[in-house]
Chain A
Amino acid sequence: GESVGLHLPTLSVQEGDNSIINCAYSNSASDYFIWYKQESGKGPQFIIDIRSNMDKRQGQRVTVLLNKTVKHLSLQIAATQPGDSAVYFCAEDRDSSYKLIFGSGTRLLVRP
């Protein structure tokens, strides 16, 4: 069956350090990937996306890397801040599938 991501692990980082959150996907047909951030009591918020014809995309303090060979996606957060503490989800989509398939998320804790 389809699956994205891992069981919910926790990543603890020191404020100011870089964070790397990883995600594995299993569906080779997926051509669009999104990272979401979910803070406590809120809905998932879009962070950054990447299409399968790219292997890297940068945003403000965030970078997404896509390795289609090993079906791996990562989110890098530079100079992690306390406000980055949240659960992060990767999600995959296929063209006109009308649904996102989510991974199980990673909890990021930022130590002051």
Chain B
Amino acid sequence: DTAVSQTPKYLVTQMGNDKSIKCEQNLGHDTMYWYKQDSKKFLKIMFSYNNKELIINETVPNRFSPKSPDKAHLNLHINSLELGDSAVYFCASSEGGYSLGYTFGSGTRLTVV
């Protein structure tokens, strides 16, 4: 059983399109995250949700909108995609605010053409 699963694994789309990435965790964790990994492998947090409540928004453009329908799911919707959005997006989850049991999904490689 995959602990943190993301779909799709690969996403190729044209500039200007709107796309969503889905994430689900079956670990019973309260907190979920979205990270972006650029071409130089640098990982940076974008959002954090705790029990469906947004607690971190790291100056991400408002074209990015996370949505958490329940604490096991955190989806990422991106409007008006730009070339610079091309990256690998990782979902993660943890127990509460401390990084105990921090677990990552396998990533979604987004390519904007």
Contacts and interface: CB of A to CB of B under 8 A. Distances in A.
Interface of B: 4, 31, 33, 40-45, 48, 50, 55-56, 58, 90, 92, 96-99, 102-107
Given A43-B106, A46-B103, A99-B56, A32 B45 contact: no
B26 to A, nearest CB: 15
A95 B106 contact: no
| Interface bin, chain A | 20 to 34
B42 A104 contact: yes
10 contacts: A34-B99, A34-B102, A38-B41, A43-B4, A45-B104, A93-B99, A95-B98, A96-B98, A98-B31, A98-B48
Leading 9 A-B pairs by shortest Cβ distance? A43-B104, A96-B97, A102-B43, A93-B99, A99-B45, A98-B48, A98-B97, A43-B106, A105-B41
Interface string A20-38: 0000000000001010101
A99 B33 CA distance: 8
* Highest count of chain A CB atoms <10 Å: which of B43, B44, B50, B98: B43
Contacts of A42: 106-107
A43 B99 contact: no
Given A89-B43, A104-B41, A99 B106 contact: no
